[in-house]
Homo-oligomer: A and B are copies of this chain.
């Protein structure tokens, strides 16, 4: 399990089921790994046909679906999926400049997509958002609010407050904080943070993580009991500001 918080589960208590469909084995592997790390039950397929076959027996709650598959068009796969399982959530993967007109209207149906290259944290967050909104998980009630001590982060509203005071963050700062809050009390290495927050094709150094941690501290910890702690030689932890 990844977090101290219970892993996201379905209403019957079993882990959420996700099917990953991508024809690039490397990418599929990375995504699959990240989702398993979330404690979910993950399977993968390399083609549309395989995906539909797998879906029939596996009955996933959500599908991560590359829109550029060798054999079939993304929207038609969606249609076939929905025909058998009307309530499955779909998260599309698409190239930045891909002809997006093929998926016009997708987000209006509650489905979502991320453009390649994406960060794994983003992918997971989007997927959780989909599942939450579909009412498919136990966390329905909790909504989109992450709370650690007097620090609150609303994923839907993109609002962050500490002790009630609003704090505004840049996109990267926001993602980094979300990531820390998701894994409260667990030390995350710079490499892990790099893998989660930055796109998988980011070539930069771990130094950026330090930099962004320092930005975050300025906005969140300055003048208060610190919540972000560094564990020398290992990484960073977020903890409620003791007492």
The stretch among A9-17, A106-114, A219-227 that forms the contact with chain B is A106-114
- Closest Cβ of chain B to A34, distance in Å, is 4
Chain B residues contacting A71 (CB-CB under 8 Å) are: none
Chain B residues contacting A111 (CB-CB under 8 Å) are: 33
Chain B residues contacting A158 (CB-CB under 8 Å) are: 187, 231, 234, 237
In whole angstroms, what is the CA distance A202 to B103 when docked? 11
Chain B residues contacting A233 (CB-CB under 8 Å) are: 170-171
Whether A25 contacts B79 by the Cβ 8 Å rule is yes
- Closest Cβ of chain B to A99, distance in Å, is 10
In whole angstroms, what is the CA distance A157 to B135 when docked? 33
Whether B234 contacts A109 by the Cβ 8 Å rule is no
Whether B109 contacts A170 by the Cβ 8 Å rule is no
The stretch among A48-56, A62-70, A189-197, A207-215 that forms the contact with chain B is A189-197
Which of B33, B107, B110, B171 is within 8 Å of A36, CB to CB?
A: B110
Q: Mark A1-33, 1 if CB is under 8 A from B, else 0.
A: 110000000000000000000000110011011
Residues of A near any B CB (own CB < 8 A): 1-2, 25-26, 29-30, 32-34, 36-37, 75-76, 78-79, 82, 86, 101, 104-111, 120-121, 133, 135, 156-158, 170-171, 185-187, 189, 191-192, 195-196, 200-203, 231-234, 237, 239
- 17 more A-B residue pairs beyond the given contacts A37-B109, A108-B120, with a C-beta to C-beta distance below 8 A: A26-B75, A30-B104, A30-B108, A30-B109, A33-B105, A33-B111, A36-B86, A37-B108, A101-B203, A104-B200, A105-B200, A106-B195, A107-B191, A108-B121, A108-B195, A158-B187, A171-B233
